[in-house]
Every structure is written in C-alpha cells, then in structure tokens.
Structure 1
Amino acid sequence: MNDSSPATASAKAVVIYSGGMDSYTVLHRAIRQGYSIHALSFDYGQRHAKELDIARRVCQRLEIAHRVIDIQAIHSLIDNSALTDDSRPLPTGDYDADSLAATVVPNRNMILLSLAIAHAVNINADVCFYGAHGGDHVLYPDCRPEFVERMNAASAVANFNAVRIEAPYLHASKSGILADGLDMGLDYAQTWTCYQGGELACGECGSCRERLAAFAERGLADPLIYRPAPMEP
C-alpha cells in the first residue's frame, strides 16, 4: 500500500492502539505519514490486559505519547460478550457467524472513537486513526465502511473543530495488513492478538487462527510463540 500524503510538521494524530496486530500496523502507518502521535489504549474490562502491557512497551520504545484510559466503569453496560464476560467460553476454531457473534462487544468502536475524537479536539489533532479492516465487515457493524462514513459525518459537526477518522485498512484483508507492515519492516513479535492472556498465545481462538492464516498466506512463520497443540489420544 502506498503512503498517504505526509502530514505537516505540526500535525497531530490520535491513534486508537490496542496492542494487537492491526492497530500496531496502523500506528506505524500514522508515524510514517509524519504525524505527531498520541496513542490511546482503553481498559474497558476485557478478559485480560496483556495487549495493554504490550502497547505500553511499544510506545515507550518508540518514545511516543501514550495513555491507557481506564473506562472499566462501563463494563456492566457492555458485558454481553465473550470478550468482556469471563464466565462465557471463548469460541475456538476458524471464525464463523456464531463465533464472531460471541465476540461482539456492544458499541465498542463508537465508544472508543468518541473518546478518541474528544481527545483529538482537546489537543488540536487533525485526525483519529483506528484499525478496522475488511475481514471484519462480515459481522462487526462498527468495522464497516458505512459506519466510518457516518462517524466521520458526526465528527465533522459534533465539535467546533472537525476531526477526520482514518481507517487505512478498511478495505484490506488481514494478509494485506501484514504485507504492508512487512514492507515497513515491522516486527510482529511486538503484538498480541490472542483472546486469551496466557504466557503463550493459544493458537486456537478465531483471532489466533486468522493471524496464523495471514502469515501462512505470505509463506511466513509467525514470530509470536504459541503454546503446543494438545496431543491427540
């Protein structure tokens, strides 16, 4: 993918950065475009905080502004998901309609984008980046082009200073995101995609399997370490 037009030296951007593979690539895409980066990660009561720890380390290494925003107070409003209710089993295997539905966090991207846009207005940033991609269109409504279009329209009128929402991989597959990141020389060992927060990635949840498939499509081994598959009886 080609770089977008470079930002002016004073241009700021807010990047919603979870610590996962997609947002890691978006973060570096925004850096490459020349923005002064203000990364935001959110603790909304998800099953584990390993992604957030990784996000902290990456931003420290890159020496960019980063804040982890604690919004756990809203957890009971969005706990109807396997990603926010640890009493529910996490689906394993490749994504299908049922496993995707189980991992929908109600209104998550609208909530996070609203907060990120507010921060952008507060610091006079021009743009807010987030990592929706084409592979999420099947079920996740807040990753579809029409959602981004409408959020952009709302952002343009919600404040005196309009903030543009950018989703650079909105029409890209996971493999396409990976290809762009590899072109930028990114190290995907510095990311966490697994829905579980163990010492090693599980390799069994839909998120792990989608990631592994992207590397396999590129003929590459994932640098992340996975726990061994269980022995068959």
Structure 2
Amino acid sequence: MNTTLVCSGGLDSVSLAQVLAAQGRLSRIVSFDYGQRHRKELDFARACATRLAVPFHLVDLSGLGAALSGSALTDDLAVPDGHYAEETMRVTVVPNRNAIMLTVAFGIAAANGDTAVAAAVHGGDHFIYPDCRPAFTDAFAAMQRAALDGYADVALEVPFVHATKADIVAAGAGAGTPFAQTWSCYKGGARHCGRCGTCVERREAFHLAGVADPTDYDDADFWQAAVAAHAAGGA
C-alpha cells in the first residue's frame, strides 16, 4: 500500500511519517500553507520528506487564512497559555481545516496512484477539534469512496484517532523519530514557548510515555502547573 501523508511538521505527523516509512508504505508527504501566522512548521515537514527520501508537495492555500477568520492560528489573536483541553483553546480552531486538507490530499493520492491517505489526528484533539473526531473521519472516508467511485480506491488511515499523545510519542520513539526535528508551538518563536496548549500537551506526553524530551522550551516547567490546574478544574 502506497500512502500519502498529510504532514504539518509537528510531533504527531512526523512520528506517523517515521512509522509508515519503517513499514515501507510512505510514498509522499503533503503539507499546506493555509495562511497560518507561523509557517516555520512547514520547514520541518519539508525536512521530514527529505530525510525519508519521498516527494514533498507544498500546497498553496494561503488565501484561506483571510477567509477562515477568527482563529489565533490565522488572525492576530493571542494564543492562550494552559492545558490543551481547556475551553480557552477553542480559539485555535480553524473551521473545516482538516476536511479541506484531506480533500486535496485525496486528489493528490488518486492522481499519483496511491492507495491511502494518512493523517495523525489523535484522541487528545477530540475535545477541541470537531474534524479530528472518529465521527468525522468515518464520514469523510465514506464521502471519499463516493467521490472517487470508479476512478480510484483510496482509503483513509487514522491510526492514532483513538490514541493519546503519549501513545504517539511511544510509537514515534519506536520508529526512530527525531523529535527535536519537529515543531509544535503555536507561537512561532525561536524556541518552543512551553506555555501554549500544544507545548504543554507535548511536554506532558513525553513525561507520560517515559521518553526523554529533547525539545528546547522557553519555559520548560510551566506544563506541570498547567496540568495540575486542569486536573483541579475537572475534579
């Protein structure tokens, strides 16, 4: 099975790239410039494709950023600090982002004769992002079967959809993922901030997985207070 991978350059998608490559199934990497405020993650996606010796497709959807307004990832809005599962993190939703990207990726896969499209959505995303939930991925897979009926047979692979971030760290470590060559932070600074939701989630995941975290954070200890505050709020 030849697989097109949607890759942001983050820990999850780069880990999935390593897993697929180890299985001999990774055929290409597709990334998207959708007008996000911080595009440095795209450099990490490109580096992943170079390292794994597969074609890299960077799709220019930069005009979408202005149209899909209201997100801290596309507009000049502050990215909140704290745990990823806090209500405040909803400001990072870009409406329909995964549906748009996956649709394009399926077209690329079909055009190149690939038999699957893989995405690294995971269980920790379910609270915040509706287009990361199993109900969405199941429905999207069915829609694509209809969209390509009689032309191509392309499956949707979401192996982490019921997994935790710690599970992904463990799987990535097993496949030799160079975690230092991944980018998660939503603030786009010189280093990971250590305080935004995705940094807190990243740091917590390494801790839970029992894997050394090579990431250079501006605030490497903030995650503990954020996790404790979230736990207390949910008690």
TM-score normalised to structure 2 length: 0.89
In structure 2, what is the Cα distance between the partners aligned to 1:178 and 1:96?
A: 18
Q: Does 1:179 align with 2:170?
A: yes
Pairing partner for 2:63 from 67, 73, 81: 73
Pairing partner for 2:105 from 110, 116, 122: 116
Q: How many residues align?
A: 219
In structure 1, what is the Cα distance between the partners aligned to 2:91 and 2:178?
A: 30
Deviations along 1:57-112, whole A, 9 cap, x unmatched?
A: 22112211111111112222212201111x21111111244223111110000000
Which consecutive unaligned segments of at least 5 residues does structure 1 have? Answer: 1-6
Q: Does 1:221 align with 2:194?
A: no
Pairing partner for 1:126 from 102, 107, 115: 115
Match of 2:8 in 1: 18
Offset at 1:228?
4.4
**Secondary structure, in 3 states, of the residue corresponding to 2:63?**
helix
Over aligned residue pairs, what C-alpha RMSD do you find? Answer: 1.5
Letter in 2 for 1:189: A
In structure 2, what is the Cα distance between the partners aligned to 1:69 and 1:106?
A: 18
Offset at 1:30?
1.8
Match of 1:169 in 2: 160
Letter in 1 for 2:16: V
Match of 2:27 in 1: 37
TM-score normalised to structure 1 length: 0.89
Match of 1:82 in 2: 72
Pairing partner for 2:184 from 193, 200, 204: 193
In structure 1, what is the Cα distance between the partners aligned to 2:45 and 2:116?
A: 20
In structure 2, what is the Cα distance between the partners aligned to 1:69 and 1:166?
A: 20
In structure 2, what is the Cα distance between the partners aligned to 1:201 and 1:93?
A: 14
Pairing partner for 2:38 from 15, 32, 48: 48
Which consecutive unaligned segments of at least 5 residues does structure 2 have? Answer: 222-235
**Secondary structure, in 3 states, of the residue corresponding to 1:42?**
strand
Identity %: 41
In structure 2, what is the Cα distance between the partners aligned to 1:223 and 1:135?
A: 21
Greater helix share, structure number: 2
**Secondary structure, in 3 states, of the residue corresponding to 1:90?**
coil
- Segment of structure 1 superposing worse, 29-38 or 188-197: 29-38
Q: Does 1:151 align with 2:140?
A: yes
In structure 2, what is the Cα distance between the partners aligned to 1:191 and 1:198?
A: 14
Match of 2:54 in 1: 64
